């Protein structure tokens, strides 16, 4: 699969993080958990697969727990204090 080849190439060339939704943007990130898990497992610590797109303050902890990751990317995840 080309995504696995891309992970190999990027890891070999010093990339340390890939931001991905795991599939079509018109679907929820939860729908892509199986694919994201495959990518995370394949990367095997050589680089970070950073789940993003559809990650919110309401689901960030769930996404991190389900995918067993310590980083997620989203918009307005942290409420800024004035």
- Is there a domain that residue 79 lies in? no
- Is there a domain that residue 82 lies in? no
- Is there a domain that residue 6 lies in? yes
Contact, 46 vs 12, CB < 8 A?
no
Please state the pTM of the whole predicted model: 0.89
Q: Tally the domains of the chain.
A: 1
Return per-residue pLDDT of the chain as tens, 82 residues: 799 999 999 999 999 999 999 999 999 999 999 999 999 999 999 999 999 999 998 999 999 999 999 999 998 777 666 7
């Amino acid at each position: 699969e080309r995504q696995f080849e891309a992970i190999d190439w990027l890891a070999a060339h010093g990339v340390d993080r890939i931001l991905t939704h795991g599939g079509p943007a018109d679907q929820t990130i939860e729908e892509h958990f199986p694919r994201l898990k495959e990518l995370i497992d394949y990367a095997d610590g050589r680089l970070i697969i950073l789940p993003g797109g559809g990650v919110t303050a309401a689901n960030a902890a769930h996404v991190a727990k389900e995918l067993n990751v310590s980083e997620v990317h989203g918009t307005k995840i942290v409420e800024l204090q004035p």
